[in-house]
Structure 1
Amino acid sequence: MIFRQLFDSVSGTYTYLLASRPGGEALIIDPVLERVDRYLQLVRELDLRLVKAVDTHLHADHITGLGALRDQTHCITVMGEQTKADVVAMRVAEGERVAIEGLSLDVLYTPGHTDDSYSFLLEGRVFTGDTLLIRGTGRTDFQNGDPRAQYDSIFNKLLRLPDETLVYPAHDYKGDTVSTIGEERHFNPRLRVRSVEEYIDLMNNLKLPNPKMMDVAVPANVHVGLHQEEIARRGWALSAVEAAALCGRPDVVLVDLREKSERERHGTIPGALHAPYPDLRENIGTGGVLHELAAATGKRIVFYCAFGERSAMAVQAAQDAGLKTACHIEGGLDAWKKAKGPVAR
């Protein structure tokens, strides 16, 4: 496995790049905007293909690199389902997995630092975001933080992992790079409490100043979505109501770009063809199933995904590949459901 821990000294942020093999798919966790060029250089040097970019939570001390990485690599952006970010391509919940070729991360909902904080477990290591730090824990005094929820996340989820599990946090300000669950259980001063009430009292009396970047970073990180307005201006977007009117027409095929787990959890538009986003280039190229549908039969391709981000990128790629009638459902399945469109389970 390829594993790289990268550091942004300005914000004290750790970013993690993972892949199962050289030449394969890669995933990045908690990227920082100012370091995106370095991440992409490393991806090229290791002959990787970045397919997913994950944020453990909505950060307040730096601007995320999710949007820039998406724009430059067409990767899928991933956050927890509670996120306030305007458009994230995939929103995950506890019990699900974030998978790339050869690797699968278990999703743990670990709120407390923020209400959208998640941790990700992979082969004896856990990426804890700001929930559990090395010899510390993330503050709980803004962004719907909750010390009671954080106590539950730490003591009833993270500390129940095997002692040898490696802990990789999103931040460190002392120069430590990795710990273990066993070390934190024994030596983390924030965890030397006898009750949840004692932990709440401790966290409520830290009296820390707000992060320097908070007023800039939080609004910027809420608005990381692809600007679907540009796709609409080009005439390549349908509203959910307009798309519903096309359903059942023999000259139209709806294409679901989501992953199998998303389809199973959230349902599908009846009659839609499943063609996952990672296979898009193959499917729209000469000889690909979508290319043949459009070129040989004249069918109009209507893409959709969860919130419209992947489908907007798919429309641009399809147009570039010569599929000039391709369009997408603006807002994705989320907009479709709000418009009371039918959903099959």
Structure 2
Amino acid sequence: MIFRQLFDSVSGTYTYLLASRPGGEALIIDPVLEKVDRYLQLVRELDLKLVKAVDTHLHADHITGLGALRDHTQCITVMGEQTKADVVAMRVSEGDRVTIEGLSLDVLYTPGHTDDSYSYVMGGRVFTGDTLLIRGTGRTDFQNGDPRAQYDSIFNKLLRLPDETLLYPAHDYKGDTVSTIGEEKRFNPRLRVKSIDEYVQLMNNLNLPNPKMMDVAVPANVHIGLHQDEIARKGWAVSATQALDLRGRTDVTLVDLREKSERERHGVIPGSIHAPYPALQENFDAGGLLHALAVSAGKRIIFYCAFGERSAMAVQAAQDVGLKTACHIEGGIDAWKKAGGPVAS
């Protein structure tokens, strides 16, 4: 397995690059905007294909690299379902799995530092974001932070992982790179409390200054989405209401770009076909499903995904290979449901 821990000294942020093998799919956790060129260089050097970029929560001390990585690589952006970010391609909740070729991360909802904080468990590792740090815990005094929720996340979820589980946080300001669940149980001073009320009192009296980048980083991190209005201005988009009118026409095919787990959880538009976003290029090639539909069968392809980000990128890719009738549903199946569109399990 390929595992790289990268550091941004300005914000004290750790970023993690994961892949199961050289030449394979890769995933990155908590990227920093200013380091994107370095990440892309490393991806090239290791002969990887970046397919997913994950933020553990909405960061206040740096601007995320999610949007820039998406623009450079057309990767899928991933955050928790509570995020305030405007458009994220995939929103996860507890019990979900974030998968790439050869690797799978179990999703844990661990609020407290923020209300959209998540941790990701992979084998003997856990990526804890700012919920549980090395010999510390994330502050709980802004972005809907809640020390009671954090106590529950730490004591009833993270600390129940095996003691030997390696703990990788999103930040460290002392130079520590990794700990274990067992170490934190024994040596983390924030965890030496006798009750949830004692923890709440401790966290409510830290009196820390706001992060220096907070007023810049939070608004920027809320607006990371692909600008779907650019696709619409080019005439490559339909509203959910318009898509409802087109559904059932013999010259139109609806194409679902989401992953199997998303389809099972949120349902599908009846009659649509499944062509997962990661396999888009091979489906566009001669002999591929989408090429056959658009070129051989003369169908108009209408892409959709969860919220419209993947489908907007898919439309651009289709146009680039000459499939000029392709378009997408603005806002994805989320907008479709709000418009009253039927959904099948």
The two structures have a TM-score, normalised by structure 2, of 1.00
Which structure 2 residues correspond to residues 12-23 of structure 1 after superposition, within 5 A? 12-23=12-23
User: For 2:193 and 2:109, how far apart are their aligned partners in 1?
Assistant: 22
User: Match of 1:105, as an amino acid?
Assistant: L
Per the alignment, in what secondary structure is the counterpart of residue 258 of structure 1?
coil
For 2:28, the aligned partner's letter is: I
Deviation string 1:78-132 (CA, Å, 9 cap, x unpaired) is 0000000000000001001000000000000000000000000001000000000
Residue of structure 2 in register with 1:243 after alignment: 243
Return the letter of the residue paired with 2:107.
V
Equivalent position amino acid for 1:111 in 2: P
Whole-Å separation in 2 of the counterparts to 1:65 and 1:326 = 29
- The superposition leaves residues 59-83 of structure 1 with CA deviations (integer Å, 9 ceiling, x where unpaired) of 0000000000000000000000000
Alignment-mate amino acid for residue 119 of structure 1: S
Unaligned runs of 5+ residues in structure 1 are: none
Match of 1:301 in 2: 301
The residue aligned with 1:95 is 95
Structure 1 equivalent of residue 168 of structure 2: 168
Tell me whether 1:329 sits opposite 2:329 in the alignment: yes
Q: Deviations over 1:256-293 (max 9, x none)?
A: 00000000000000000000000000001221111111
Alignment match, 2:177: 177
Looking at structure 1, the residues matched to 314 and 340 of structure 2 have their Cα atoms a distance apart, in angstroms, of 24
In structure 2, runs of 5+ residues without a counterpart are: none
2:231 match = 231
Query: Which residue pairs with 2:203 in the alignment?
Result: 203
Corresponding residue for residue 65 of structure 2? 65
Tell me which amino acid in the other structure corresponds to 1:80. Answer: G
In structure 2, distance between residues paired with 1:294 and 1:7? 45
2:281 corresponds to which residue?
281
CA distance in 1, matches of 2:320, 2:25: 23
Q: Which residue of 2 aligns with 1:313?
A: 313
AA aligned to 1:155 is F
1:39 and 1:295 map into 2 onto residues whose CA distance is: 37
Q: Deviations over 1:117-162 (max 9, x none)?
A: 0000001000000000000000000000000000000000000000
Structure 2 counterpart of 1:271 = 271
Q: What does residue range 131-146 of structure 1 map to in structure 2 within 5 Å?
A: 131-146=131-146
Between the aligned residues of both structures, percent identity stands at 86
The aligned amino acid for 2:217 is A
User: What residue identity is the alignment partner of 1:66?
Assistant: L
SS in 2 for 1:198: helix
Please give the alpha-carbon distance, in whole angstroms, between the structure 2 residues aligned to 1:245 and 1:281: 29
Q: Are 1:154 and 2:174 matched, yes or no?
A: no
Equivalent residue letter for 1:151: Y
What is the aligned-residue RMSD (CA, Å)? 0.4
Residue 9 of structure 1 aligns to which amino acid in structure 2? S
Q: Does 1:80 align with 2:94?
A: no
Residue type at the aligned position of 2:254: L
* Distance in 2 (alpha carbons) for counterparts of 1:201 and 1:138: 15
- Alpha-carbon deviation of 1:231? 0.3
How far residue 176 of structure 1 moved from its aligned partner, in angstroms, is 0.2
Tell me the equivalent position of 2:50. Answer: 50
Other-structure match for 2:292: 292
Residue 200 of structure 1 and its aligned partner are, at CA, apart by: 0.1
Other structure's SS at 1:126 match: strand
Cα distance in 2 for partners of 1:195, 1:179 equals 24
Q: Distance in 1 between matches of 2:238 and 2:285?
A: 23
Map Cα deviations across residues 21-73 of structure 1 (whole Å, 9 max, x no partner). 00000000000000000000000000000000000000000000000000000
In the alignment, is residue 10 of structure 1 matched against residue 10 of structure 2?
yes
The superposition leaves residues 210-232 of structure 1 with CA deviations (integer Å, 9 ceiling, x where unpaired) of 00000000000000000001100
Aligned residue identity for 1:136 = G
Query: Which digits, 9 at most, give the CA deviation of each residue in 1:174-221, with x for residues without a partner?
Result: 000000000000000000000000000000000000000000000000
Amino acid at match of 2:74: H
The one-letter amino acid of 2:300's match is R
SS of 1:282 mapped into structure 2: helix
Residue 324 of structure 1, CA deviation: 0.5
| Partners of 1:284 and 1:244 in 2: CA distance | 25
**How far did residue 297 of structure 1 move?**
1.1
Instruction: Name the residue aligned to 1:193.
Output: 193
Match of 1:119 in 2: 119
Q: Compute the TM-score of the two structures, normalised by the length of structure 1.
A: 1.00
